[in-house]
Amino acid sequence: MAPSTLIVALALAAPAVAWVPTSVVSRSAMRTTAPRRTTASMSLLLAQETGKSAIDPTVFQKYLDIPIDDCKQGIMAEYCWIDADGGVRSKTRTLPRSKLENGAAGLPEWNYDGSSTGQAPGDDSEVIMIPRAVYRDPFRLGENVLVMCDTQTPAGEPLPTNSRASAAATFAAHEDEVPWFGLEQEYTLFNLDQVTPLGWPKGGFPGPQGPYYCGAGPENAFGRAVSDAHYRACLFAGLKISGTNAEVMPGQWEYQVGPCVGIEGGDELWLSRYILQRVCEDFQVHVTFHPKPITKGDWNGAGCHSNFSTKKMRDAGGMTEIVKAIHKLGARHAEHIAAYGEGNELRLTGKFETADMNTFSYGVANRGCSIRIPRTAEADDCGYLEDRRPSSNCDPYIVTGMIMETCMGPEAPVIEPQNAAKA
Ligand code: ADP
Ligand code: MN
Ligand code: MN
Ligand code: MN
């Protein structure tokens, strides 16, 4: 549905009193957990159709209490894969416990109907899932697992949406460099209408940005339960989640995954997004990874800052290596921007702690640059760099693979930093 259609539809659904559309939400931001309505009384229907409203949690508890931890059939393995729209889908199978002994390599391949996800034709619909990483299942608990998979055709070719394959090959070619990634995932929570961010007045705007970033109190923080539930679920799963904070726009949050080594960064970030979707399903809150969910007014967008280092950068004197890498990143700026996420041009305007997407820049502690060198790295003369360009809906396999490939590439012309003689 085009954004304009959506606004018209929602305007029809809204009460006759002053209704002001607060957002232009793109197609990718419209990923939905509830049926979409374009007719009147949308909010009423949502309340009845969320899939939760008719479920009595105390009745469901009776079934959760059925003891299955030692049942002889085995455990439940939730196989997760990336779909054609940058979402994560999953389905479950029962597996004998013995299959878990050798991690992902010991798990069987499986398949799904790719014609139902826009990833295969109807007459040859099978997509093969290859298990790549296994985590504990924070929803089912016990010995049950979540399995991050990548996807192939029956002939063994990676699907066009399988960006993991080439990233994994890049990392495999440079294992000695021990690349680390710390990915800062920003996201925005909305009510189920997908129009009103959490904490915003319906049809209007909250007070200007300022008190919300890392804020506390009912007038400043909206959705902390979601953020914390997700944090705990990720810790239990075994993800390297390293922190979380409320963001600059009300209803917006961030968590960080890392440092992860090589391909693990993409695996863990994708799985963490899946867990967030599941948490939001429980809370009946809509989450979007769109980089600019609110375009009207002065509101920060959402990014996925990607912190990167190699062993040489972390070792004494690594700053030389960091600066060389930045020159290489600068030389391929346009190529990166094109691959760093859909809708990113709405965010990388040069305002709201971003650099204009048309110019490459870097500097120490400078949050208005494409690449930031942390002050600690300057002080220690080693450490890491922060690529601030990727958008919140980026594909972390593409971003991490591209950073790695670029930084392992040929030397590039010197670019002057935006500040600090040292950099
Ligand atoms: P910011 O100050 O930009 O908000 P955050 O604290 O949110 O930074 O995120 C920084 C991320 O960088 C964390 O995930 C952290 O684990 C990661 N990180 C720390 N050191 C390194 C390193 N040497 N290489 C790569 N990532 C790192
Ligand atoms: Mn951060
Ligand atoms: Mn942030
Ligand atoms: Mn950052």
Compute CA distances 401 → 163, 290, 308, 320, 409, whole Å: 9, 21, 11, 22, 12
What Rg do the C-alpha atoms of the chain give, in angstroms?
Answer: 22
Q: What does DSSP say about strands 241-246 and 145-152: parallel, antiparallel, or unpaired?
A: unpaired
For ligand 1, mutation pick of 187, 253, 307, 313 (most atoms within 8 Å of CB): 307
Q: What is the DSSP letter of 174?
A: T
Say if residue 69 is exposed, middle or buried (CB neighbours under 10 Å; 0-12, 13-18, 19+): exposed
Question: Can you give the pLDDT at residue 54?
Answer: 67
- Specify the residue with its C-alpha closest to ligand 1, atom 11: 182
- Relative to beta strand 252-261, strand 180-190 is antiparallel
Q: Are 380 and 315 in contact (CB under 8 A)?
A: no
> Has residue 55 got a pLDDT over 80?
no
Number of Cβ within a 10 Å radius of residue 352: 18
Whether 229 shows a pLDDT value over 70: the answer reads yes
> What mean pLDDT is predicted for residues 253-267?
98
Average the pLDDT over 292-296 and give the result.
95
Tell me how far the alpha carbon of residue 124 lies from the centroid of ligand 2, in angstroms. 44
Query: If we measure between CA atoms, which residue out of 228, 217, 225, 221 comes closest to residue 246?
Result: 221
Positive or negative, the CA dihedral 51, 52, 58, 60 is positive
At 167-219, the pLDDT tens digits run: 999 999 999 999 999 999 999 999 998 999 999 999 999 999 999 999 999 99
Strands 75-82 and 145-152: parallel
Whose CA is closest to 150, among 77, 80, 240, 238? 80
User: Which of these CATH numbers, 3.30.590.10, 3.40.50.300, 3.40.630.30, 3.30.56.10, describes 171-407?
Assistant: 3.30.590.10
Q: Which residues line ligand 1 (CB under 6 A)?
A: 180-182, 184, 242-243, 256, 258-259, 305, 307-309, 314, 383-384, 386
Question: pTM here?
Answer: 0.89
Mutation probe of ligand 1 site: the residue of 256, 371, 404 with most atoms within 8 A of C-beta: 256
Q: Which residue has the higher pLDDT, 131 or 39?
A: 131
Instruction: Specify the residue with its C-alpha closest to ligand 1, atom 13.
Output: 182
**Confidence band for 21, pLDDT divided at 50, 70 and 90:** very low
Residue 32: CB atoms within 10 A of its CB come to 11
Tokens of 163: 């960006």
Q: What is the pLDDT of residue 49?
A: 60
* Residue 321 confidence (pLDDT) above 70: yes
The Å distance, Cα 182 to ligand 1 centre, comes to 5
Cβ atoms of residues 303 and 354 within 8 Å: yes
Question: Closest-lying ligand to the alpha carbon of 248?
Answer: 3
Contact status, residue 245 vs residue 254, Cβ threshold 8 Å:
yes
Contacts of 82 (CB under 8 A, 6+ apart): 88, 150, 151, 161, 162, 163, 270, 395
Q: Whose CA is nearest to atom 26 of ligand 1?
A: 182
Q: What is the pLDDT of residues 112-129, one digit of tens each?
A: 999 899 888 888 888 999
Sign of CA dihedral 15, 19, 25, 27: positive
User: For residue 219, which phi and psi values (nearest 5 degrees)?
Assistant: -90, -5
Which residues in 71-104 are b (16+ Cβ under 10 Å) and which e?
Answer: eeebbbbbbbbbbeebebbbeeeebeeebbeeeb
